Amino acid sequence: MRAQTKMHHRQYCSEAPRAAPCGKSLSWIISILDIKRPRRGERRIMHAREPCYSSINMGRTTPTPRRLGRGARRSTTPTPVSYDEDVLSLDFVCRRNGRSVLNCTVVARGTFTPYFHIATHSDARTFFRTNKGDTVAAIQWRGAGGATFVEVDKAVLRQRVSEWMRVSGDASYRMMEIRGQGYVWVPQDNSICMYLWNPGSSTVPELLARIEKANDTVTLEITSDAMVRGLLEIAVVAATLFQSGCCID
């Protein structure tokens, strides 16, 4: 495989965030999760080579969910998910010395069963393929003065990442919409967590996935409910964007 094209590595570059769907206030996730807002002039980063999320205090500790092992029950219908339900843990195993998620294999922790193969070509395009060789997603990285584009089969039409995952007004989280349902990505300690977006609820939002990086290995934990919702490929693409070290806006 040819060496990947050099990417732009900027500290932060985003477009103005768009309004929340259905006219709901984006302050909902702030108040429910008790997120500490950035100080004036401070910008939070939702992508970086190394974790940079410990400065945001969520006001509570998220319980660690049990990992999904062999023989564990998988949900076949959408059901309310608690933090104790089974989750699938996926590691991004890099194939090159650069330890970049842009060229890696996504495998199940423990069994090493491959789920996706991520490869970046010299034309600055990253492809996500299954074991059968089917392409399920792609990222077109920004060129000079351009934007980064993303598309996911049967879920996300080709569009700018800045439009797909909009940055909040205070740059403390990102919001996306999949098949008419809203979700948010929120930095929490050394993780980035995906929650169901439900501004009408006064309870702690439903945790669906979590991205972590430790010892140069990126790990994605995703609940069975999130997979039933068809969010597996979405979460893998999001993890790649956040941990790419590239400007994604």
- Return averaged pLDDT per consecutive 10 residues of the chain, 249 residues in all: 35 32 43 47 40 26 31 33 67 81 95 96 95 96 86 96 94 94 93 90 86 93 96 98 92
Q: What is the pTM of this model?
A: 0.69
Phi and psi angles of residue 79, each rounded to the nearest 5 degrees, phi first = -135, 155
DSSP character string of 92-121: EEESSTT--TTSEEEEETTT--EEEEEEE-
Contact predicate 85/223, CB 8 Å: yes
Per-residue pLDDT, 215? 86
Phi and psi angles of residue 7, each rounded to the nearest 5 degrees, phi first = -100, 160
Q: CA–CA separation, 49 vs 200, rounded Å?
A: 35
Pairing of strands 87-94, 166-167: unpaired
User: Of all helices (H) and strands (E), which one includes residue 167?
Assistant: strand 166-167
Q: CA–CA separation, 187 vs 241, rounded Å?
A: 14
Contact predicate 176/168, CB 8 Å: no
C-alpha dihedral (164, 167, 173, 178), degrees to nearest 10: -20
- Distance (Å) of CA 3 to CA 51, 79, 96: 25, 44, 10
Per-residue pLDDT, 175? 95
